[in-house]
Amino acid sequence: MFMRLKSLLKREDVKDLRTEVLLLKIFLKANKGFSVGLMILTIFIFFGFVLPVFSPYDPRNWGMVPPDKPPSLSHPLGTTTTGQDLFWLATYAIRNSMIIGVIGSAGGLAIGIILGLIAGYKGGITDRLIVLFADTFIVIPVLPLLILIGSLVKAQLNMPLLGLIIALITWGMPVRNIRSMVLSLREREFTYTALFSGSSTMRLIYAEYLPHVAYWILASFIHRVLIAIGLEVTLAIFGLSTLREATLGSMIYWAMQYQAILRGIWWWIATPVFIIILLFISLYLVSIGIAEYLNPRVRIQRLQAGR
């Protein structure tokens, strides 16, 4: 798809692209929250996807290191009662939680975008039915449903499956958003201009609509990663996540199971809690930063403030 996009870009577009990059640079400078969020997120991605390669311990094995040791030079974040090194466990947990989050987010978004496009373009009874189903999934509390599924498939639960289940239950919102975007874009002047000058539907979507919705998709993708990781943590607290794998949720689960707080092993519970707080704030800052960049009114305001 990227190649195709590239071939579609003509020389004038490249100039546009350069201005876009320049705008982004100024925006980054002006929007401190976004920059901070992006920085923390990058560190987390490094921790989660680069460091586990060098890990001396397998996260699934217990009793690898002396238990209940407070943070020290050899174990920078301390060790657990189950004999795991918290620092290396945390790197795996960040990676696995992010994988679950990305699968859950991308899956839910994909279902939502496809159904939203169909609803917006087809209209009529198809539209009504899709919107009704989406509304149902928006209104009803998804956690009890998720818990019901989780308690039934508990034994077979693995990370991709968990992500897929989360995706299947959180696709309601993007349907509504995409549908209303399609409805508004469809009536715009440039749609008619493009259609009357003989542009195909695909080309219309790629060249005209995609730039309009690209930032929205990116922003909501990141926001939904946050929601999906949050759901995983919540499920784990109810004892329904992939508890054998290291995830942020299962770290908390085992710390609670072994009464880490009452026994004064604070580093065990503090590690996942602080990672979750930082990770969620950074994801949130990045997602609202992108959403703000997309909003032309705020964008101009920010750019003026930045100069």
Partner 1 sequence: MGVLKNYVIPRLGIYVLEIFIGCTISFLIPRFTPIDPVQAVINRYAAFGEFYDPEIVENLIDTLKELYGLKGTLLEQYIGFLKRIIVGDFGPSLTAFPTPVTEIIWRALPWTIGLLSIATILAWIIGNIVGGIAGYFYEEKWAKALAGFATVIRPVPYYIIALLLVLLFAYVFPIFPMGGGVTMGTKPSLTLRFLLDLLKHAFLPALSLILTQYSVQFIIMRSLVINTRTKDYVVFGEAMGLPKSKLLFKYVLRNSLLPQVTGLAIMLGSIFNGALVTELVFSYPGIGTILYTAITTGDFNLMMGIVTYSIIAVATAALLIDLLYPLVDPRIRYR
Task: Based on the shown chain and the rule CB under 8 A, indicate whether residue 135 belongs to the binding site for partner 1.
Answer: yes
**Among the listed residues 149, 159, 162, 228, the single contact to partner 1 using CB under 8 A:** 149
Task: Based on the shown chain and the rule CB under 8 A, indicate whether residue 294 belongs to the binding site for partner 1.
Answer: no
| Contacts of partner 1 in 19-58 (CB under 8 A) | 33
**Among the listed residues 281, 294, 299, 303, the single contact to partner 1 using CB under 8 A:** 281
Shortest separation between residue 137's beta carbon and partner 1, angstroms: 9
From first CA to last CA, the distance across the chain in angstroms is 36
**Among the listed residues 106, 114, 118, 138, the single contact to partner 1 using CB under 8 A:** 138
Shortest separation between residue 215's beta carbon and partner 1, angstroms: 17
**Toward partner 1, which CB reaches closer, 144 or 198?**
144
Task: Based on the shown chain and the rule CB under 8 A, indicate whether residue 296 belongs to the binding site for partner 1.
Answer: no
Task: Based on the shown chain and the rule CB under 8 A, indicate whether residue 261 belongs to the binding site for partner 1.
Answer: yes
- Rounded Cα distance, 177 and 306, in Å: 31
On whether the CB atoms of residues 161 and 232 are closer than 8 A, the answer is: no
Task: Based on the shown chain and the rule CB under 8 A, indicate whether residue 238 belongs to the binding site for partner 1.
Answer: yes
Binding site for partner 1 (CB under 8 A): 33, 132-133, 135-136, 138-145, 147-149, 151-156, 226, 230, 233-234, 237-240, 252, 261, 269, 273, 276-277, 280-281, 283-285, 288, 297
